[in-house]
């Protein structure tokens, strides 16, 4: 008996084994019935049987192995199964385990029934494995996509809902700083104000991190004086950090067609990073320069030097965490700020680099080309 015929003839037996296995791995908080446990398994098995019965050339099989096989609808049974398993609380490992168990179950039942080895047996097994792998690939892709969308929505909701209370706290702290006569109250107000600013920046970075992996960082360029923009940001930091010295030096023509909001975010993230990872009694320097072709921004601090190996991944939070997740040194945990800076700079078609030496401190340097107004008018750029 060919494997396709065996699957269709014994589909109830196979489905019962699928159901029993799914029940054994279902989430602890669920008590799923047979319909839920068998979710789209019958459709999946029938699709596999049809695939086995369909003649395929070597080229068609090669395309299928590369994930480019022919689709018979907008949503396959494997994709819908991934959606329902995600909604039921199954993990990615459990989803993969179902396919592994299905593969083993079908082949075991089929080979146990066969008494002799036929010439087509190897071919059927190969075609069956290809069909199962295709279903698994479709399920994994859909599960990952839906899980990522759910995380992005969650981050967006959290970011939106936290902004209003954070803004109220920040306004209250600013009021204390401006009106209190007691020095102790002013200090407390300053600490609260700084903390709310950092929390707001974290929310911005989370939302931008999410955006960078989907639509990209969008720019709205207009004629901007980068020196004036930096001066405004630096003044805000001087107000909220009265004991720190933040120097600003400008030279040349620092105007250009950039996104002022995004470039303000670049300056803010770099200065915040410099203040956070340098001694409280040291100064931070911000330098802005420009000519007819290039805008340049450098932020320097006297903090502990960043090791050469760490500099390679300084702008990638995931790789940086993977390399140093068990490291307790504070200067290794730089959050998402530098990643967002790099994405914004890249969207401007610019570059960013870092130099760090034990005796000279750390400097981040941004260089942006100066496009003319006509070349960017009415256009948006993405990282």
pLDDT, tens digit, 9 for 90 and up, residues 338-360: 888 998 999 999 999 999 998 88
Q: Is residue 81 part of a domain?
A: yes
Total domain count, the chain = 3
Q: Is residue 383 part of a domain?
A: no
Which of 106, 131, 152 is the last residue in one of the domains? Answer: 152
C-alpha distances (whole Å) from 18 to each of 91, 95, 236, 255, 328 are 17, 12, 62, 66, 46
Strands 255-258 and 222-225: antiparallel
- Shared domain for 264 and 309, answered yes or no, is yes
Tell me the pLDDT of the chain averaged across its residues.
Answer: 84
- Shared domain for 362 and 272, answered yes or no, is yes
- Shared domain for 203 and 322, answered yes or no, is no
Q: What CATH number is given to the structural domain containing 282?
A: 3.30.565.10
Q: At what angle do helices 77-88 and 92-113 cross, to 10 degrees?
A: 130
- Shared domain for 182 and 313, answered yes or no, is no
- Shared domain for 168 and 297, answered yes or no, is no
- Shared domain for 84 and 138, answered yes or no, is yes
Q: Is residue 87 part of a domain?
A: yes
Contact 364, 311 (CB under 8 A): no
Q: Is residue 202 part of a domain?
A: yes
Q: What CATH number is given to the structural domain containing 47?
A: 1.10.490.70
Nearest C-alpha neighbor of 290 from the set 261, 247, 255, 260? 255
- Shared domain for 280 and 313, answered yes or no, is yes
Contact 214, 152 (CB under 8 A): yes
Output the pTM of the full model.
0.57
Which of 152, 174, 193 is the last residue in one of the domains? Answer: 152
Structure tokens at 88: 């039921």
- Shared domain for 80 and 172, answered yes or no, is no
- Stretch 117-134: mean pLDDT: 83
Give 162's pLDDT tier (boundaries 50, 70, 90). Answer: confident
Contact 260, 222 (CB under 8 A): yes
Q: Which neighbouring-strand residues pair with 245?
A: 283
Beta strands in the chain (DSSP E): 222-225, 245-252, 255-258, 283-290, 294-301, 351-357, 361-369
% the chain with pLDDT above 90? 43
Give 371's pLDDT tier (boundaries 50, 70, 90). Answer: confident
- Shared domain for 190 and 167, answered yes or no, is yes
- Shared domain for 293 and 314, answered yes or no, is yes
- Shared domain for 52 and 143, answered yes or no, is yes
Q: Which neighbouring-strand residues pair with 368?
A: 295
- Shared domain for 12 and 45, answered yes or no, is yes
Structure tokens at 115: 């008494």
pLDDT at 214 (0 to 100): 63
Which range of residues forms the domain containing residue 237? 222-376
Q: What is the largest CA-CA distance in the chain?
A: 96
Count Cβ atoms below 10 Å from residue 325 Cβ, excluding itself. Answer: 9
Structure tokens at 189: 């107000």
Q: Is residue 381 part of a domain?
A: no
Give 330's pLDDT tier (boundaries 50, 70, 90). Answer: very low
């Amino acid at each position: 008996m060919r494997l396709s015929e065996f699957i269709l003839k014994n589909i109830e037996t196979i489905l019962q084994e699928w159901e029993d296995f799914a029940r054994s791995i279902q989430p602890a908080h669920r008590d799923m019935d047979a319909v839920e446990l068998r979710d789209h398994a019958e459709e999946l098995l029938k699709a596999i049987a049809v695939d086995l019965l369909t003649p395929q050339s070597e080229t068609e099989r090669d395309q299928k192995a590369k994930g480019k096989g022919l689709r018979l609808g907008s949503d396959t049974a494997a994709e819908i199964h991934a959606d329902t398993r995600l909604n039921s609380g199954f993990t990615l490992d459990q989803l993969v385990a179902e396919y592994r168990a299905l593969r083993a179950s079908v082949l075991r039942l089929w080979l146990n029934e066969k008494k002799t080895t036929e010439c087509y047996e190897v071919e059927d097994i190969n075609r069956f494995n290809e069909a199962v792998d295709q279903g698994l690939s479709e399920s994994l892709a859909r599960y990952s996509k839906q899980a990522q969308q759910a995380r992005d929505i969650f981050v967006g909701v959290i970011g939106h809902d936290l902004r209003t209370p954070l803004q109220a706290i920040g306004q209250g702290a600013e009021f204390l700083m401006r009106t209190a006569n007691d020095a102790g109250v002013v200090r407390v107000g300053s600490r609260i104000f700084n903390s709310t600013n950092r929390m707001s920046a974290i929310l911005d970075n989370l939302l931008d991190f999410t955006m960078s992996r989907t639509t990209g960082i969008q720019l709205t360029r207009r004629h901007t004086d980068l020196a004036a923009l930096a001066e405004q940001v630096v003044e805000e930091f001087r107000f909220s950090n009265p004991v720190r010295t933040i120097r600003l030096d400008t030279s040349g023509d620092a105007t250009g067609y950039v996104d002022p909001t995004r470039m303000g975010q670049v300056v803010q993230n770099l200065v915040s990073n410099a203040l956070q990872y340098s001694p409280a009694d040291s100064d931070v320097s911000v330098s802005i320069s420009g000519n007819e072709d290039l805008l340049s921004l450098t932020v320097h601090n006297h903090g502990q030097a960043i090791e050469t190996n760490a500099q390679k991944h300084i702008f990638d939070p995931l790789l940086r965490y993977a390399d140093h997740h068990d490291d307790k040194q504070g200067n290794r945990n730089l959050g998402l700020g530098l990643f967002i800076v790099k994405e914004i700079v890249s969207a401007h078609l610019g570059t960013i680099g870092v130099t760090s030496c034990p005796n000279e401190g750390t400097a981040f340097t941004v260089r942006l080309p100066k496009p003319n107004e006509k070349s960017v008018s009415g256009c948006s750029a993405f990282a």
